[in-house]
Amino acid sequence: MRWLRLSCSGALLTLTWLGCSSAAEQSGNDGTTGSAGGSAATTGDSGSGVGGSGGSSAAPSTGGLPNTGGGPSTGGGPSTGGAPSTGGAPAAGGAGGSAGSTGGATGTGGGVTDAGSNFPDVTFSYEASTPEQDACANVTVEAELTPLDIYVMMDISGSMTQLTMGGTSKWDEMRAAFAAFVNDPASAGISVGIQYFPLVAAGVPASCSNQAQCGANGPCLLSVCSNNINFACINNGQCFGGTCVPAGVCSNNPGSICIPVGSAACGPGVTCDARTSSFCVNQESCAAADYSTPAVTIAPLPGNATALVNSINAQSPFAATPTAAALSGAVNQARSFASANPTHNVVVLFATDGLPTRCTPSTIPQISNIAAMGFSGSPSIQTFVLGIFAPAEAATAQANLDSIASAGGTNSAFIVDTSGNVTASLLQALDTIRGSSLSCDFPMPTTDAGIIDPDEVGVVFTDGGTSTTLVRVDDATGCSAGDWFYDNNTNPNRISLCPTTCTTVQASPTGRVDIELGCLGS
Task: Give 93-128 as a 3 state SS string.
Answer: CCCCCCCCCCCCCCCECCCECCCCCCCCCEEEEEEC
The pLDDT of residue 138: 65
The pLDDT of residue 128: 41
Tell me the C-alpha distance between 478 and 93, whole Å.
68
Q: How many CB atoms lie within 10 A of CB 368?
A: 21
Helix, strand counts (H, E) of the chain: 8, 23
CA-wise closest residue to 107 among 136, 67, 76:
67
Amino acid letter, residue 194: I
The pLDDT of residue 124: 40
The pLDDT of residue 137: 52
Instruction: List helix spans (H) across 263-415.
Output: 288-291, 305-313, 323-340, 364-376, 391-407
The pLDDT of residue 174: 97
Q: Low-confidence residues of the chain, pLDDT below 50?
A: 1-135
Provide the whole-model pTM: 0.61
Tell me the C-alpha distance between 199 and 81, whole Å.
98
The pLDDT of residue 144: 76
Tell me the C-alpha distance between 493 and 445, whole Å.
8
The pLDDT of residue 136: 58
The pLDDT of residue 112: 40
Sign of the CA dihedral with 8 first, then 10, 14, and 18 last: negative
Tell me the C-alpha distance between 459 and 484, whole Å.
8
